């Protein structure tokens, strides 16, 4: 089963709901939307429509990240070391509670944790992840981890197995290491040598993507480039053919 969707809302909500069965909510990475807003989206979407969402950046990114400035987040200078990098602090756990509240309002089962390039392999970072994921109440939520720092593939595999995480990759950059029947792929429009988000996928690219999807019995494919709407429609049409 291949489920195709887009990251965010490149078109109006009604157009997205009419054309797809899946969207990954991006706004929650910058700051949580109002619970009433998430509930309104859920009511407006068809009953078989599925939401996934990105975890709030306070969990994964440090306050020095430019994404904090984009979200106009102001952090007390004395507390900057208590945010991001999966640190097991009250501030990070509160950010998870805020993320989980929106997840429940959307009736979403998947949360994506995108760690930054600064979150590379180290004993401290591995320890943080273990303490964070062992401490939160995850219920039956599927936790997806997209690491962007430098990690050994064997380390990623071990972490995903120990913490029951799904390893997420851009399939044009690599393959997931998770030994699971479920895949979660995010396409950033950045084949080798191309600028991230600016690339439009060709028919050949989409055929390659389709072959990658055959590795899973169930896979979610989320387009996250500037032409994501059209590319996702083209890929869905290819699948039907």
**Mind listing the pLDDT tens digit for each residue in 92-112?**
999 999 999 999 999 999 999
- DSSP lists the bridge partners of residue 114 as 146
Q: How far is CA 40 from CA 34, 87, 103, in A?
A: 10, 32, 13
Q: Which helix (H) or strand (E) holds 220?
A: strand 218-223
Tally Cβ neighbours within 10 Å of residue 20: 20
Bridge partners (DSSP) of residue 90 are: none
- What confidence tens digit (pLDDT) does each residue in 21-75 have? 999 999 999 999 999 999 999 999 999 999 999 999 999 999 999 999 999 999 9
User: Which CATH code for domain 2-240?
Assistant: 3.20.20.410
Q: Cα separation of 180 and 165, whole Å?
A: 10
Is 120 in contact with 149 (CB distance < 8 Å)?
yes
How far is residue 66's CA from residue 135's CA, in Å, rounded to a whole number?
A: 28
CA–CA distance, 67 with 136 (Å, rounded to integer): 24
Contact 93, 102 (CB under 8 A): no
Can you list the positions of beta strands (E) in 18-109?
Answer: 22-25, 50-54
pLDDT at 215: 87
Domain spans, the chain: 2-240
At 142-192, the pLDDT tens digits run 999 999 989 999 999 999 999 999 999 999 988 899 656 899 999 998 766
Q: What is the model's pTM? A: 0.95
């Amino acid at each position: 089963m291949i489920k195709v969707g887009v990251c965010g809302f490149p078109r109006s909500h009604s157009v997205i709901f009419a054309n797809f069965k899946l969207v990954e909510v991006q706004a929650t990475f910058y700051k949580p939307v109002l619970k009433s807003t998430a509930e309104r989206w859920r009511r407006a979407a068809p009953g078989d429509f599925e939401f996934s969402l990105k975890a709030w950046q306070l969990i994964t990114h440090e306050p020095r990240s430019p994404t904090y400035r984009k979200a106009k987040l102001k952090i007390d200078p004395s507390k900057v070391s208590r945010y991001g990098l999966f640190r097991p602090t009250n501030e990070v756990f509160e950010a998870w509670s805020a993320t989980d509240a929106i997840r429940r309002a959307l009736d979403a089962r998947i949360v994506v944790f995108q760690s930054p390039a600064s979150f590379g392999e180290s004993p401290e970072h591995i320890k943080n992840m273990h303490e964070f994921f062992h401490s939160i109440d995850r219920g039956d939520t599927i936790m997806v981890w997209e690491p962007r720092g430098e990690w050994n593939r064997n380390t990623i595999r071990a972490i995903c197995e120990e913490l029951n995480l799904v390893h997420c990759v851009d399939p044009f950059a690599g393959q997931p290491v998770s030994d699971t029947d479920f895949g979660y792929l995010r396409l950033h429009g950045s084949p080798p040598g191309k600028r991230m988000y600016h690339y439009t996928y060709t028919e050949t690219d989409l055929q390659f993507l389709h072959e990658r999807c055959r590795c899973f019995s169930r896979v979610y494919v989320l387009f996250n480039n500037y032409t994501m709407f059209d590319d996702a429609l083209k890929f869905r049409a290819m699948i039907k053919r």
